[in-house]
Amino acid sequence: MQDIRILFLAPNWRVSLLRSFKKSLSGKFFLVGADSDPYSAGLNVVDQKYVIPQFVEQGCIERIRVICDKENIDTILPMTNKAIIFMDKNREWFNEEGLALYLADHSAIKICHDKRSLAVFFSENNITSPDLINAKEPFPGFPLIAKEPCGEGSKNCFKVENQTDLDFYSKKLPSHVFQKFIKGREFSVDWFSDKNGVPIVIVPRERLATRGGEVMTSRIEMIPDIIESAKNLGTLLKLRGPANLQGILDESGSFFFTDINLRFGSGVLHTIYAGADIPRMMFQELVGQLVGKIDNCIMDGSKMFRFHDAIFDS
């Protein structure tokens, strides 16, 4: 059986995810990593590594073109939002090369990569989400949450407790988005759909502990209402491939969607371990096999405890 050659764009610290591809089907994946950071940890665990220009630099697309030709790449997986935007801008070339792209439509990328646009999309489609607040107009009250409009990994995200805080952040961070703060349990929903957008994996994980925006401890809880809501949202956006939908389950049982990442979430290893072998599913689809079903095989209630590891190079 043929192997599948995947180019991971900007793998950086995603070592555990890369290893999960190797472990899923030993010898069936050939992993290529391309990163502008020569000290990227992910470049130490792939089968072939390349240092590339930054995505905004002129020569980046040509460098990736050469890599794809040399390594006979079958598909490309972007690991960061910047990598997704780069692929979206060069979508025509990737399509011409016949590469299998697990990439959402341009319209979905524009919506999901801007929190203000995403909040408007939620409102227009009657999807439960925190209210978008205009700091210059009357609003129900505090607390609020302030976010970068195009932020990633919870960077520069602040809780706004009172008017003094609001005045400070409005002046210091005028481009920030302000939303109503929802008290409750924080969830990430791991999503994977095939190239046609048919959802295959929808697994909610409660984020029990985080560090710098990354989940460190999680518990899978297969709540039917969250799964159905995520299915409807992902289908509406025509998501393809991996994604991560985030939200808050409040005390009344209402689920408020807050963010959508069009890539693997940091805790997807938990979902893969719990029964949703996404690397195997990707392989099956790319070689023309039927994608395996995961009905009733997820380890509901399982927990994940992440920790930092190290790679040494002499």
The reply to whether 172 and 194 lie within a common domain is no
* Residue that is last in its domain, among 140, 160, 180: 180
The reply to whether 254 and 214 lie within a common domain is yes
Question: Which amino acid, 131?
Answer: D
Q: Is the pLDDT of residue 70 over 60?
A: yes
Dihedral of the CA atoms 12, 175, 158, 254 (nearest 10)? -90
The reply to whether 151 and 190 lie within a common domain is no
The reply to whether 246 and 284 lie within a common domain is yes
Structure tokens at 26: 């030993």
Number of Cβ within 10 Å of residue 247's Cβ equals 28
- The distance from CA 180 to its chain's CA centroid, rounded to whole angstroms, is 23
Q: At what angle do helices 278-286 and 15-24 cross, to 10 degrees?
A: 60
How many domains is the chain built from?
Answer: 3
The answer to whether the Cα torsion of 106, 110, 113, 119 is positive or negative is negative
β-bridge mates for residue 209, sequence order: 217
pLDDT tens sequence across 269-304: 999 999 999 999 999 999 999 887 776 789 999 999
Kindly give, in sequence order, each residue whose CB lies less than 8 Å from that of residue 39, ignoring residues fewer than 6 positions away.
Answer: none
Segment 70-82 shows an average pLDDT of 96
Structure tokens at 304: 């994940």
Domain assignment present for residue 251? The answer is yes
End-to-end CA distance of the chain: 36
Going by pLDDT thresholds of 50, 70 and 90, the confidence category of residue 152 is confident
Domain ranges, residue 274: 183-305
More confident call, 236 vs 291: 236
More confident call, 165 vs 154: 165
* Residue that is last in its domain, among 123, 146, 180: 180
Domain assignment present for residue 114? The answer is no
CA distance 164 to 211: 27
